Amino acid sequence: MAEAEQTAILITKNRESYRPVARRGSILYFVIADLALIDPMYQYSLEFFSRLFNRRLEKSEKSDVLEQRLEILITDVTESFYTNICRGLFERSKLLYSFLNTSSILKRSENITIDEWNFFLRGSATDFSQIPKDIDYVSEPVFKKLLGLEECH
């Protein structure tokens, strides 16, 4: 009984150590799920996603060092989804897809903060119209946007 418990704990521990791969997988999935908003033809089911994901888990290079294996898995999964999905995307959407992947990964790891992301998408909501421009070589709109950027930090 005690042994079984021990084993259970060990299994859980080992399983938990693969969490980063699952995390990357979920990021990639939600980017793909959002693609349908861009074009009605970009439809991918969860089933399609897990099939490819599992295949990569089996086929990718093995390693006895956990750190290395995680590294391999994360790169492999990201790459194979990129190639597979790109096959069905129009040229105009491919860079957008890459960008969404990159920014989602960075958002998850908090290398992009929510404030930064909001500013990037929408700009600042503050009204700067009262502040006079005092840098002569930038234009009026750029000056306003710089004030917004400064506020963001």
Partner 1 sequence: MNSFRDRADAVSWSDILKSEEPHFIPLPGGFEEKCTQFQKLMILKVLRDEKLIYGIKEFVKKELGHKYIESPPFDLPGAYNDSQNTTPIIFVLSPGADPITYLLGLAKSKGMDQRLKIISLGQGQGRIAEKLIEGGHRNGDWVCLQNCHLSVSWMPELEKIQERQDEATMNPDYRLWLTSMPDRNFPVPVLQSGIKITNEPPKGLKANLKGTFNDITPEDYESCTKPKEYKKLLFALAYFHASILERRKYGAIGWNIAYEWMNSDLITSKTQLKMYLDEQPDIPYAALNYIVAEVNYGGRVTDDKDVRTIKALLKRNFCAEIMNDNYKLSKLEHYYAPTDGKLEDTKAYLNNLPLEDDPEVFGLHPNANIAFE
The residue (of 60 and 84) whose beta carbon lies closer to partner 1 is 84
d(CA 43, CA 34): 9
Angle at Cα 125 formed by Cα 103 and Cα 121, nearest 5°? 20
Instruction: Kindly state whether residue 58 participates in binding partner 1, applying the rule CB under 8 A.
Output: no
CB atoms within 10 A of CB 129: 6
Which one-letter amino acid corresponds to residue 65?
V
Segment contacting partner 1 by CB under 8 A, of 4-12, 26-34, 66-74, 144-152: 144-152
Q: How is residue 123 annotated by DSSP?
A: -
Q: Does 43 bind partner 1 (CB under 8 A)?
A: yes
**Which residues here bind partner 1, judged by CB under 8 A?**
39-45, 47-48, 78-79, 82-84, 86-92, 94-95, 98-99, 101-103, 105-106, 111-112, 116, 119-120, 134-135, 137-138, 142, 145-150, 152
